[in-house]
Each structure stands twice: as C-alpha cells, then as structure tokens.
Amino acid sequence: MKIYVVALIIFTNLSLLTGQEKEKVQSVLPEIIAQFPTARDFTISPALDEVYFTAQGYSGELSTIIKVTKKNSTWSPPAVAPFSGKFRDLEAMFSPDGLKLFFVSNRPLTNAKTGTKDYDIWYIERASTTTTTWSAPKNMGSPINTEGDEFYPSIASNGNLYFTSTAATSKGKDDIFVSVWKNNKYSTPTSLSKAINSEGYEYNSFIAPDESFLIFGGYQRKDGLGSGDLYISYKNAEGVWAEAKNLSEVVNSNKMDYCPFYHLKTQTLYFTSKRSTIQDSTLSTQDLKKLLKMMTSYQNGLSRIYSTSIKL
C-alpha cells in the first residue's frame, strides 16, 4: 500500500510539473562547456563552488575530467583536473559532504605512466571543504572493482556505494548495484531489485544522501521517450524500492538523456542530454553564418549538460 501511495504521489507531481517546468530546462555553464566537443557528466560541490565534468572527443576517443571553480560569483577558466589527463577518466561524483570525489578510470594500479586496465572506481579525498589539496587517487579495490568494468559511482551519507556493473549477477545487461558499508568495509555488491533493474540496460545512478530515492538511466524501455531516459524510484520505510517511474517530459527528451546529479539543497537536477533544437524546417539555408550558428549551437545534438528545478 505504501509503495502504491508513493508511486501515485510521484506520478501526480510529475504530471503537474510537465507543463510548467518543461521549458525551464537550462544550459549549464554554456560558455565553458561549449568549448569542448562533448560533455558527458557533471558534479557540483555542496557549496556550489566547484564543478567537475568530463570532456570527450567527438567519437569518445578522448575522455578527460575538467575542473572549474567559482570565486566572487565568477567561474574560473576550465582546466584539466590535477588527477586527470593521462588516461581515460570520466564520471566524477562528489560525496554528500564534499570530502571525497569519486571517478572512473582505466589507469593502471601502479604508478606506471603507460599501460591501462579495465575501468575501475577510484577516489580522492581531502580533510576539509575549505582546502584545495586533494590526496593522490586511490583505487576502491575489491569487492567493488573486479576484472570487469565498473562505472558511475554515487555514494550515500552512510557510505553505501551505488554503481553500474556488468557483473554475472546482473539481471540482464548493465545493472545498478549497491555495496553496503558495514564494519568499516564494503560488502559484496548486489544487483538492485526488479523495481529498478531489468533484462535491458540500467546505468548512471544517483543515490540521494539519505537513500530515499534513486535516479538512473534506462535504455529503450517501453515507457521511454527516447533512446535512453531518466527514471526515479523511492524507497519506503521498510527499505523496499518502489517501481521506477519515468521522469517524463519534465526532464527527458526524444534523444539520449543520462548522467544525473541532484543537488538537494537547491533542488536542482543536472543531467546530460543529446537533445537538439535544430528542426528539418530550419536546415535549408544558403547563409553560411546562420548554418554555422546552428551547427555550433549548444543544443546541436551533441552531449551537453542541462539543469532543471524539480522537487524530488
């Protein structure tokens, strides 16, 4: 009964928001992010003064984490994050307290400057949010990292880690897994229930700090609006996940929507999208300046970062 009530509330809230919020999806740091061919993911510090996002080449052949910081309401020029730039790095994610930054990398476990391995989850940490000094990158190790690939880490306030994996215990293709932090160590990761995972692809999960809700991507689901959509599931008092619901046209487009990050204090959802405002009717032009303006516009169908205000 509780699951039904929660699901009804979600559906009602999204229905009410669809009309008024759909046009409020905004570009994020467009002057900065538009400098790169594509941007894949985004995370912002609890104090809203540090941003990390992944810049990639047109074909994804390059993948580097970029850092920008804010001082006196002004964002700094983008720079390669100090821990990135030598290997394929992506999917940075702040912990709720801002003291750890998780990310994914194919870097070797040793300090070797060459050679790569599969994708693992790594992290850096610091003593205070007032310092810019981070530790050297640390590999999460077993049982989180395996001989396969692990992606998109997101951590709750209690230390429980949610991530994407293709492990043999998945319910289909990629699944969302959780590893519980208990007695100062991580448990064997388990695939979340069928309320979230399916026989298809589930990916890019963001867990609320108190684990009350989970936002994730689902690929080509029956209720999907595009190739990939963002979904949300709420956990009830008994710890049971409700059937995941599509975040509707409030967030999703008819293109690929993925990589969510939610800032709880500002109630802002950040996400990546391949949406485009270029319509067939506008393609016919002999004006070169107009043509180039359309091709290089923020919403040109390449991966860009967007945000919207939504209470979850």
Q: Mind listing the pLDDT tens digit for each residue in 25-58?
A: 999 999 999 999 999 999 999 999 999 999 999 8
Q: Describe the strand order of the beta sheet including 268-273 as a list of residue ranges.
A: 26-27, 304-309, 268-273, 257-263
Tell me how long the chain is.
312
Global pTM reads 0.89
3-state secondary structure string across 225-250 = CCCEEEEEEEECCCCCECCCEECHHH
Name which of 130-144, 162-176, 189-203, 226-240 the model is least confident about.
162-176
- Contact between 268 and 308 under an 8 Å Cβ cutoff? The reply is yes
Instruction: Give the phi and the psi of residue 193 in degrees, each rounded to 5.
Output: -65, 175
- pLDDT band for position 288 (50/70/90)? confident
Distance of CA 89 to the CA centre of its chain: 14
The label of the residue with tokens 């709420």 reads 234
Indicate if the pLDDT at residue 72 is higher than 80: yes
Q: What confidence tens digit (pLDDT) does each residue in 85-115 have?
A: 999 999 999 999 999 999 999 999 976 666 6
Q: What is the pLDDT of residues 229-284, one digit of tens each?
A: 999 999 998 999 999 999 999 899 999 999 999 999 999 999 999 998 877 655 56
Q: What is the pLDDT at residue 280?
A: 62
Alpha-carbon distance values, 33 to 25, 52, 70, 193, 217 (Å): 16, 11, 15, 36, 22
> For position 7, what pLDDT does the model report?
41
Closest CA to 95 of 184, 146, 158, 143: 158
pLDDT of residue 13: 43
pLDDT tens digits along 117-126: 899 999 999 9
